[in-house]
Amino acid sequence: MTSPRWWLLVLALFGATKGEWNTKDYMKREHSLIRPYQAAGMTIPYWDFGGSTMVTNNYVRLTPDLQSKQGSLWNSVPCHVRNWELQVHFKVHGAGKDLFGDGFAIWYAKDRMELGPVFGNKDFFQGLAIILDTYSNHNGPHNHQHPYISAMVNNGSLHYDHDRDGTHTQLEGCEAKFRNLDHDTHIAIRYEKDTLTVSTDIANKAAWKECLSVKGIRLPTGYYFGISATTGDLSDNHDVISVRLFELDLPNDVKDNEDRSNILPSATYFESPREHVDDPKPSSMSGIKMFFLMLVAALALITAVVIGIMYYQKHQENSRKRFY
């Protein structure tokens, strides 16, 4: 994957400050958030924020490290770019060593600025969510460790199930230890020719590592980019340092003039869903009760077998009598 971030580093070394790279990918200023954020007063050009979100000179804090907070940050300009890469420089940190949460989500969605239960955004959303879940709500057997990054596409009909950490609606996911790191942490969401690829740069190597890649994703144009976060009983600071959107230049791409402004978001391939079984309830039966129940069941089974054999033998005798 070609990475505009490499060029960012190269340009930084040469002291270049223009938002236009040497590649043919263009950064779209109206969908990006770069320091200094505030032009005048308390507003950020092209961005709105709500809930607990606080803007400082160096970061936008969606939630502080306090319980029961929800915050969001939304681009106010709908995105009409067909192939894009969104890069988010973020920092999740807090005092909790073992207990922290809940995480944050990056959105490309139809509706904006609606706080709700899905990492600070509304449920039954229309669009794409990249979820960076730091807390495992699921006590049963899990396929993965947390923090966990996953992708979800929703046409408005799917519910995000926190009890299963969204595992039965996710497209794909990966484990990513991005919390409480001293170095910078980045995520890139690339949407190119209906393929969604999510990569992380959290190992302080200035290189992208692929987390997930899914083909057959159809997203409408004209949706909004946003980021939201939430804390519950557990908490963390969820900070956004920058957001950069690049329009991808695909020179060999046959011009596709399909009007995508009115389609519903859809995904061709979902991860084979894990069965939605309830966690085993702790048995209210004591061991002795259980033993007797098993004993009675065993006796009943033996009795049934014995009766069955007797009946069979009798039947055989009768048949023989009939035949001979």
Residue 32: CB partners within 8 Å, gap ≥ 6?
19, 46, 242, 243, 244, 245
Residue whose CB is less far from Ca ion, 140 or 222: 140
Q: Which residue, judged by CB position, is nearest to Ca ion in the bound state?
A: 133
For 285, the token pair is 């039966």
CB of 230 to Ca ion, least distance (A): 10
Contact residues toward Ca ion (CB under 5 A) are 133, 135, 137, 165
* 107: β partners: 129, 226
CB of 148 to Ca ion, least distance (A): 8
Residue whose CB is less far from Ca ion, 198 or 219: 198
CA atoms within 13 A on the CB side of 64: 5
Residue whose CB is less far from Ca ion, 23 or 137: 137
Alpha-carbon distances of 103 from 64, 120, 190, 255, 301, rounded to whole Å: 12, 9, 21, 38, 52
Question: What region, left, alpha or beta, does residue 42 occupy, with left being phi > 0 and alpha being psi -120 to 50 degrees?
Answer: alpha
For 250, the token pair is 């695909």
Residue whose CB is less far from Ca ion, 165 or 247: 165
CB of 30 to Ca ion, least distance (A): 32
CB of 60 to Ca ion, least distance (A): 22
Alpha-carbon distances of 167 from 99, 162, 164, 228, 260, rounded to whole Å: 21, 9, 6, 19, 28
Residue whose CB is less far from Ca ion, 215 or 276: 276
* 33: β partners: 243
